Amino acid sequence: MIRLFFGYEDFYHQWIDRIARQLQVINPRISLPDAERRALLMISMVDGLSLFHGGEGLNHRANQGIEGDVVQWVLKIAMD
C-alpha cells in the first residue's frame, strides 16, 4: 500500500467518509462498504481531473467538456 504524506491520508479518509454518508442518503439501497468504494471512485475522478485543469491546464480536445462527463459518471455511480 502506498502511504500518503503531509496529512493527505487523513484528508482523503474524511473526504471518503463524507461522500459515502451522502451517497447512503440519496441511495439508501447501498451498503456502507459499497458507498465507500463508490465515494473513492468519485473522488478519484474529480481529483484526477484537477491534474488537467491546474496551472495552465491541458490543451487537448479530449479535455473539452470533460466536466459534463464527470458529472454524468458521478450520478451514475451514485444511483446505480
Domain residue ranges in the chain:
8-79
Residue 49 — very low, low, confident or very high, per pLDDT cuts 50/70/90?
Answer: confident
Contacts of 27 by beta carbon, 8 Å cutoff, 6+ apart: 35, 78, 79
Question: For residue 54, is pLDDT > 80?
Answer: no
Question: For residue 1, is pLDDT > 60?
Answer: no
For the full predicted model, state whether its pTM sits above 0.85: no
